[in-house]
Amino acid sequence: MRFLGKAAGGLYLLLLYLFVAGPLLFVIATSFNPATSFPAPFEGLTLSWYAAILRRPEFLSAAGTSAVVAALAAALAVVVAFLAAYALSRNGSSSARGAMATLLASPLLVPQVVISLAILQLASAWGVGTGFWGLVAAHAVYVMPFALRLLLTGLARFDFAVEEASRSLGGGWLSTWREVTLPLLRPSIVAGFTFCFILSFVNLPLSLFLTSPDTATLPIVMFAYIESRIDPMIAAVASVIVLAAGTATILLDRFLHVRLVD
């Protein structure tokens, strides 16, 4: 009976993993398939779809735009989230901390297309263009709660007495930050930044109303591309993104012992 129970549990887990990772594996496999349509039976192995990406300048420039937007949005989100998390952890009671964290996480509860639309409306009501910074703002608002969660977790393990120890030993605000606070919270900060960067980089709905041809992000260009035709090149683009994000996640786990997924 015990054995059967264990076997059933194992099978359940295996199916779950397959369900989650299956589409991913399919996409990666497709990117090596020479067939020109998608999906199609496997006809062999080729790297030509990866080479094809390099011949499409709009993909490369969109990747550049996405990277810049993601970096700025992640930086903005981490700064805002850090200040909020620090203040909450230091001063708040645990119930206040919970309530504020929920409030700050509220962008998660709004459909992302609506955030995008709301920023567009707000900008036009104020009579300013949304432009590049509207895009960055939308991404920052959306990813901030993720950074907040990671930083609150990191700060829960932080003993604020070490800051006082530093100050009693003659450390000013800046030295205390540089010598004590930052080194101890760096793993959470780096993890928060990386996580936000990835989330922003792959996000489509936030950008829907906020991009122009000059500020098209990679998901927007991919979306436009598959509207006209579907071939495995899009799978190759996706595989590159998965590879980069996966590598970043593994590096974080290995070197900073921070897990993005528990």
The residue ranges that bind other proteins (CB under 8 A) are 159, 161-162, 164-172, 175, 179-180, 183-184
Cβ closer to other proteins: 27 or 185? 185
Nearest distance from residue 158's CB to other proteins, in Å?
Answer: 10
- 56: tokens are 């499409």
- 235: tokens are 């799978």
Cβ closer to other proteins: 188 or 203? 188
Nearest distance from residue 194's CB to other proteins, in Å?
Answer: 20
Tell me the C-alpha distance between 152 and 191, whole Å: 12
Give CB contacts under 8 A, 24+ apart, made by 78-83. Answer: 78/147, 78/151, 78/189, 78/192, 78/193, 78/196, 80/140, 80/144, 81/144, 81/145, 81/147, 81/148, 81/151, 81/192, 82/147, 82/151, 82/185, 82/189, 82/192
Cβ closer to other proteins: 179 or 253? 179
Nearest distance from residue 157's CB to other proteins, in Å?
Answer: 10
Nearest distance from residue 203's CB to other proteins, in Å?
Answer: 34
Cβ closer to other proteins: 64 or 172? 172
Cβ closer to other proteins: 56 or 167? 167
3-state secondary structure of 257: coil
Nearest distance from residue 90's CB to other proteins, in Å?
Answer: 12
Tell me the C-alpha distance between 221 and 62, whole Å: 7
